[in-house]
Amino acid sequence: MTDGRTEGQGFKRRGGNESIMSKNSKAKKKRLGKLERQNSRVPAWVIMKTDRDTMRNPKRRNWRRSDTDE
């Protein structure tokens, strides 16, 4: 077959993006790590403590829709 499959196997990985982070600098990886940690939901204990007054994180970000300026 010409689409990268062989008999009895699924798709083979061709290149992929497993080495993209190796091309980024240490500082950029650090900034991206911080953004990933910030992108978390409000803890359940905070929701309970505030009687559901605080339900969402205003800094929440989708990886595809919003830009990180990186």
The CATH number for 49's domain is: 1.10.1620.10
- How confident is the model over 49-67, as a mean pLDDT? 93
CB 42 within 8 A of CB 56: yes
Beta strands in 10-64 (DSSP E): none
In the chain, the number of structural domains is 1
Give 48's Cβ-side CA count (13 Å radius): 3
Does 5 map to a domain?
no
The boundaries of the domain holding residue 45 are 22-57
Dihedral, CA of residue 40, residue 42, residue 44 and residue 50, to nearest 10: 170
Does 1 map to a domain?
no
CA distance 12 to 26: 31
Q: What is the pLDDT of residue 21?
A: 85
Does 47 map to a domain?
yes
Q: What is the pLDDT of residue 7?
A: 62
- How confident is the model over 29-35, as a mean pLDDT? 94
